[in-house]
Amino acid sequence: MEFRYLGNSGLKISEIIFGNWLTHASQVENDVATASVRAALDAGITTFDTADAYANTAAEQVLGDALKDERRASLEIFTKVYWPTGPKGHNDVGLSRKHIMESIDGSLTRLGTDYVDLYQAHRYDSETPLEETMQAFADVIRAGKALYIGVSEWNAEQLRAGHALSKELGFQLISNQPQYSMLWRVIEEEVVPTSRELGISQIVWSPVAQGVLSGKYLPGAELPQGSRATDEKGGADTIKRFLDDEVLTAVQQLKPIADELDLTMAQLALAWVLHNDNIAGAIVGASRPEQVTANAAAAGVKLDDAVIARIDEAIGSVAETDPSKTVSPESRPA
C-alpha cells in the first residue's frame, strides 16, 4: 500500500480507502462486511470512510464493530454529518451547531472510538450561516472529538469561503470528497485548481463509476444478476446515468489497455484517478472480500502520459466534464 498526505497537513492516508456506502447494513450481511474490512486491513488499507446517514446510522455501527480489536492509532477513521438520521426531525439535518454537536457524539458511540481522524460536512448547507457551521467544527476539534475537518461535494466558491473561515478559527479545512472517475470529471476545471491553491486534497468516491469501469456491463446485454444495477435498495438509482450503450461501448475500449498493463479494468480506473496529484485517496466499496484485495492492488500503479492519452482517446468523448453538473444537496447521500 502507498500513502499520501491529506491536504496541507501531516496526516497520511492510504491511497485506497475502504468505504461502506450502500454496502454495510444494506446490500451485504454483517459477516461479509466484517470479512471485507479484514481483507482491507490485510491489503494494507488503513483508512476507512463512512457516514452517519449510511443505512440510517447502522453502517457506522458495523464498521465500528469490525475495527474494534484494531490498534486505534494505526487507523484513519472518517465520517460525515449533514443528512437526516434517526426519526428525521426538524433539527436532524444540515450543518447547524445543534445537529453537528449531537451527530458527532452519536457517530463516536457507534464507531466505538473517542475521536475520528476526519469529520466531514456531507454537503454544503445553504440554510445555516457558514460561520455557525465552521465555529461548531472548530469546537469539535478543540474538544478532541475530531482531528481534522473536511467537506464533501463543495464547489470552488464554497471551498474558498470555508477555508478562509477555518483559518480565522484556528484550524484547517484539508479535504473535499467529490465524485470523480474517468467518466465523471466535473471537478477538474474549477474544484481541483482551487483546492491546490488552498492546500485541500480530494478524497474521491465512485472512482470505478459504480462498477461500470470494471467492464462487467456490456452494451446491448442484460444487466448481470446480483450487480449494483439490479439492486432495488438504491444501487440501481446511482448507476443508471452510466448505463448508456455509447458509454458502455467506449468503456470496452479500455480493456486492451488494461490487459497490456496486466491490470484489471477496475485497477486501471483507480490508477487513473490516483494519477491526479490532487487526489489523496480513492474510496472503494465491496460486496465481497476479494473485491477489496483486487482493488487495493491499484495502489502505487503509475500510468505514463502515453497511457493517459490512450484512455482519453478511448473514453474522453463520453466523459462528463461540465463543472455545473455537481451532485446537488438534494441527491442521495454518497
Active site residue 54: yes
Find out whether 204 and 275 touch, Cβ atoms under 8 Å. no
Q: Which of 5, 54, 119, 180 is catalytic?
A: 54
Separation CA 272–CA 291 (nearest Å) = 18
The strand pairing partners of 18, in sequence order, are 48, 284
Cell 489497455 belongs to: 257
Separation CA 200–CA 111 (nearest Å) = 26
For residues 261, 311, 296 and 156, what is the CA-based torsion angle, rounded to 10 degrees?
160
Q: Which three cell numbers stand for residue 165?
A: 473561515
To 10 degrees, what angle do helices 191-198 and 156-168 make? 20
The strand pairing partners of 24, in sequence order, are 28
The strand pairing partners of 107, in sequence order, are none
Q: Annotated active-site positions, please?
A: 54
